[in-house]
Structure 1
Amino acid sequence: MADEGDVLTDLDNQYTGNGADNRPTAGFIAQYIKDLSVENPNAPASFQWQDAPSIDLQFNIGMNPVSDEVSEVELKINANATCESGAVYMIELVYAGLVGIRNLPDDQAHMFLFAEAPRILFPFARRVIADATRDLGYQPLMVDPIDFNGLYMQRLQQKAQEEAAGAQQGGEA
């Protein structure tokens, strides 16, 4: 039986003349909840509070190499709801995926890991957050879609500007 489910296995068996598979490949091997913390610290009193909660959402993207061709991409989401009476709920989620990449230039692999992979993981993480808030006894928190590609490009521009400013300061010394 072939390696079913291995995104790095060439499924159409079209190899180059020397027998090597050197075509670019990227895909998900698995996705999973790596860490989930859900707190409802003031229940049941918080169910009686009348003031609308303020929601603070924080996102972060991390990447951990697993092997030469496999990396773990982590989408970290913190959702905290508070009102004048106190904390309503706190949710910390790390939703991760194993990503296989072969024969991609470094800049394209980096973009896949930090823009495309989080975009693919996001709907699943969003569902976990919505389910968690609903299971806490509140309205499901429906996180708005995020333009991960736009954020990635913005971060690259910011980094280039920082490097240019650093080079100017280094040249003036």
Structure 2
Amino acid sequence: MTDETPKENGDATQPAANPQQPRMQILAQFTRDLSFENIVAQKGLNGADVKPEISVQVSLDARKRGTENQYEVISKFKVESKNSGDGSSLFLCELDYGGVFHIEGVPEEQLHPFLMIECPRMLFPFVRRIISDTTRDGGFPPVNLDPVDFVALYRREIARRAQAERPADAPVS
């Protein structure tokens, strides 16, 4: 099958004008940094008075690599469990997980959101498994992260940056 369409006169064919479709390929994935601190084991806390609360913080970073159309995206997750009774820490897990992506066909004005939304979305299942395995291997029930809304995360970061760039004396609309 070809991308050729007949000309008006029906004699010859010419290629159809199709815009290039976005193309993404994951070239590599890697753990940049992984840290797990089991504070319960270090302090010897009694498990009877423990009522864990878990908080998750997510941040993202992306940069262009030296090779054309290649980008590195890092997802940073900080998972902390504290005792709701006294606020003492139970464990802390920090993971920086990266991917190297080859991306073509994405317009320049859409590249930043693509890197900060679609690329982390592709990496997330691997991040989830690593955090689950690490917390389980650290002596706690596995933490199975809820899906992350990377679109909302991106929008909040853009709003935060816009707020930070606005002069202090500018009127709020």
Following superposition, the deviation at residue 63 of structure 1 comes to 1.0
| 1:139 and 2:141 aligned | yes
**Structure (1/2) with the larger strand percentage:** 2
Please state whether the residue corresponding to 1:42 is helix, strand or coil.
Answer: helix
Distance 1:160 1:94 in 2: 26
Distance 1:24 1:51 in 2: 49
1:15-94 equivalences in 2 (<5 Å): 24-43=22-41, 45-46=44-45, 48-67=47-66, 68-83=68-83, 84=86, 86-94=88-96
Q: Which residue type is aligned with residue 26 of structure 2?
A: F
Distance 2:96 2:46 in 1: 27
Q: Is 23-32 or 113-122 further displaced after alignment?
A: 23-32
CA separation of 1:119/1:47 partners in 2, compared to 1, >3 Å: closer, same or farther? farther
Q: Which residue of 2 aligns with 1:108?
A: 110
Please state whether the residue corresponding to 2:34 is helix, strand or coil.
Answer: strand
Q: Which residue of 1 aligns with 2:170?
A: 169
Give aligned-pair identity as a percent.
34
CA RMSD of aligned residues (A): 2.8
Distance 1:54 1:106 in 2: 41
Q: Which residue type is aligned with residue 73 of structure 2?
A: V
Following superposition, the deviation at residue 111 of structure 1 comes to 1.6
Distance 1:73 1:33 in 2: 12
Following superposition, the deviation at residue 46 of structure 1 comes to 3.6
Distance 1:93 1:161 in 2: 28
User: TM-score, normalised to structure 1's length?
Assistant: 0.72
What is the number of equivalent residue pairs in this alignment? 149
User: TM-score, normalised to structure 2's length?
Assistant: 0.72
Structure 1 stretches of 5 or more lacking a match? 1-13
CA separation of 1:27/1:111 partners in 2, compared to 1, >3 Å: closer, same or farther? farther
Residue 133 of structure 1 contacts residue 139 of structure 1 at CA under 8 Å; is this kept in 2? yes
